[in-house]
Amino acid sequence: MERVTFGEAVRRGLAEEMRRDPTVWVLGEDLSRAHGSTSSTQYFGLIDEFGPKRIVNTPISESTIMGAAVGAALAGTRPIAELRNVDFGLCAIDELVNQAAKIRYMFGGQARVPLVSRQGLGIKRSLGSQHTQSNEVWFVHTPGLVVVAPATPADGRGLLKSSIRCDDPVVFLEHKELWAYEDDVDFSNEGVVPLGKARVVKSGADLTLVIWSRLAIVAESVAEELSMTGISVEVIDLRTLWPWDKETVFNSVRKTGRLLVAQESVLVGGFANEIAAEVSENLHHDLIKPVKRIGAPRAPMPYSPSLEDEFRIEKPHIVNAAQLLMQS
């Protein structure tokens, strides 16, 4: 086991896949001389091993990056389109949503688009409203896209491997504040993590807490604090938002009778609503209390740190919601 950052684990996973499969390559801005705390810093050194034909620097044009990736995927390669932030990914939304996601269906399965779109998700301190969005539900809503949101370094590495090997377009969402998060990773094996399979972070008997991305890390301390008050929480990290692991969530709710879904993104229209609806419709006889959801307010992210703290979903918000759910 090695203790590494999320960014390093993903970088090594990418290098392993590029050695395994010569059709895997990457395109994006400044990948050979990246700057700043972005996902692009994870490409340091890779151009020395794989060369400029497989680590390709592009113009500052997300639509160009994604359009080229779609064409290259159709031509038989497995491109990774590095868009840095989900906020910048909106500049490539037509190529991703109207082309990559629909080509397999429109051509009756005769063509597939095996690409990965890496995008930084969520809040990062004081970047303002244009660089702190959590738009995962936009992609989940689009038929044809696989949507992945890992939390741990091991899952980042393992899910990237599965995403690269997938024959459908994958939106790979890495939380901006997790790139520097450290944890143990076993590099002695391939470590592939299957798409569509949730991770039970902690078993519990009283309440099911479903989360993904950064909140999966927060949820561990939430469960610890609640356990000191006699509340046993089962924490489920979805890891993949589409397809999502209904079986694991449903089995947990049947056991606990209570469900809390927490998301960092705006609560209105968020993916938490989909989970809540599915559980309410299918397991209403098993529920002790109605499903509870928490998320951010429907407002632009403030730049001020003090106002940003009011916007963020953090440990106290989840603890409070869980305690309310446990009241008789």
pLDDT, tens digit (0-9, with 9 covering 90-100), for 78-127: 999 999 888 888 999 999 999 999 999 999 999 999 999 999 988 777 67
- Match 């949507």 to its residue by tokens: 147
E strand or H helix that includes residue 238: none
Q: Which CATH class is domain 2-185?
A: alpha beta
Would you say residue 59 has pLDDT above 60?
yes
Sign of CA dihedral 262, 267, 273, 276: positive
CATH of domain 199-326: 3.40.50.920
Q: What are the extents of the domains in the chain?
A: 2-185, 199-326
Are 4 and 182 spatial neighbours (Cβ–Cβ below 8 Å)? yes
Would you say residue 128 has pLDDT above 90?
no
Q: Which of 35, 131, 175, 285 is catalytic?
A: 131
Question: What is the pLDDT confidence band of residue 33, given thresholds at 50, 70 and 90?
Answer: low
pLDDT, tens digit (0-9, with 9 covering 90-100), for 250-270: 999 999 999 999 999 999 999
pTM (2 d.p.) = 0.94
Are 144 and 169 spatial neighbours (Cβ–Cβ below 8 Å)? yes
Return d(Cα 323, Cα 270) in angstroms, integer. 22
Beta bridge mates, 82: 28, 118
E strand or H helix that includes residue 319: helix 315-326
> Which pLDDT value is given to residue 223?
96
131 is known as an active-site residue: yes
Would you say residue 165 has pLDDT above 90?
yes
Please state, in angstroms and as integers, the Cα–Cα distance from residue 277 to each residue in 6, 140, 261, 326, following that order.
32, 15, 11, 20
> Which pLDDT value is given to residue 41?
56
Q: Do domains 2-185 and 199-326 have the same CATH topology?
A: yes
DSSP SS3 for 180: coil
> Which pLDDT value is given to residue 86?
85
